Amino acid sequence: MVTLLIGAGLIILGIVVIAHDRRTLLSGLLPFLGLLTWLTGLPPVWLASTLFVIVLPLGILGEVLTHDGYWILSRYGTSAKGYFFLLGGFLVMVFAPLFPVLWLLWRSVLIVKLMLAIYGYVAVLIDAYLLATVINALPLTIKPTKILILGAGLIKGGVGPVLRRRLLGGLALYQRFPKAELIMSGGQGDDEPEPEAVAMHRFARQKGVSESAIRLETNSTNTATNLSEAKRFINSGDRVALVTSDYHLLRSLLYARRQGVNCQGLAVHTPHFTFTCNAFIRELGAYTIIHRYLIPLGLVLVIILCLI
């Protein structure tokens, strides 16, 4: 009964967070922890099966890292980075199916308990990040007055597949709300012949968008500066739709929240699974940099709880 009440409380708190401002990891973490609390009432064998489902995304990321390590070694030869990805990814991948078995048979052994706690902690964060991304990718509830499309690297000097999908998603939204202004955000990288926003502007003009509907932001160098630089085109009363790739959505919205940009996200699907997983791994790394103290403190707390 207590676990039911705790789980319900966490889910209700998560709904409150989502209703207030869903651009936070808590929008995924609180409901997920609530469901996880309810699942603790399952019989051990069923709970072990559920735990496997929970750690499966981390195991899949481990498989992708293993593949990346193999590719680096086969392409560039001996490489510390290649071996790190290959061996580290392999261990992460193999531990996923072992997780429920170890939990069923040896969870009382301290070293096993610590291993399960650390792996489970990372898995829960990944699951919560995925859930928060899905929640923030729900259909827009606003009629945007500004449509902010985030840039991506140019390929051979032109719009590449990732940026093309972002532009097509943003332009499709513009067709629904033709009174909105388009903000193209993207500066010039060292390997790019022109700012990304200029190429984005050219793409939009070729699709028939009028010059007066487009604003260019050409100074940004990363996601954070995309938002800080684009702010000058956004007024306090604007309703902003932020358009970017699905794997990139949550972190972009977190930066928007920090910059005080009131917006909702439009996630553009990325079809290539391996590319998406690699991009998602980079997003997780960037997220841990944003919360460089909070996440390690949580891990330390988990380890302390195991030792008590």
pLDDT at 296 over 90: no
The pLDDT value recorded for residue 290 is: 83
In the sheet with 181-185, reading across from the earlier edge strand, the strands are 214-217, 181-185, 146-150, 240-245, 263-268
For residues 293-301, average pLDDT: 86
Proportion of the chain above pLDDT 70, given as a percent: 100
**Rounded to an integer, what distance in angstroms lies between the CA atom of residue 117 and that of residue 285?**
20
pLDDT one-digit tens code per residue, 86-135: 999 999 999 999 999 999 999 889 999 999 999 999 999 999 999 999 99
Which positions ≥6 away from 128 have C-beta within 8 Å?
25, 28, 29, 32, 33
* 3-class SS string, the chain: CHHHHHHHHHHHHHHHHHHHHCCCCHHHHHHHHHHHHHHCCCCHHHHHHHHHHHHHHHHHHHHHHHHHHHHHHHHHCCCHHHHHHHHHHHHHHHHHHHHHHHHHHHCCCHHHHHHHHHHHHHHHHHHHHHHHHHHHCCCCCCCCCEEEEECCCCECCECCHHHHHHHHHHHHHHHHCCCCEEEEECCCCCCCCCCHHHHHHHHHHHCCCCHHHEEEECCCCCHHHHHHHHHHHCCCCCCEEEEEEHHHHHHHHHHHHHCCCCEEEEEECCCCHHHHHHHHHHHHHHHHHHCCCHHHHHHHHHHHHHHC
Average pLDDT over the chain, rounded to an integer: 92
Query: pLDDT band for position 58 (50/70/90)?
Result: very high
Q: Which residues contact 145 (CB under 8 A, 6 or more apart)?
A: 179, 180, 181, 237, 238, 239, 240
Q: Are 153 and 189 in contact (CB under 8 A)?
A: yes
Phi–psi pair at 268, nearest 5 degrees: -100, 125
pLDDT for res 117 = 93
Q: Are 40 and 92 in contact (CB under 8 A)?
A: no
**pTM of the shown model:** 0.92
Residue 1 has pLDDT above 80, yes or no: no
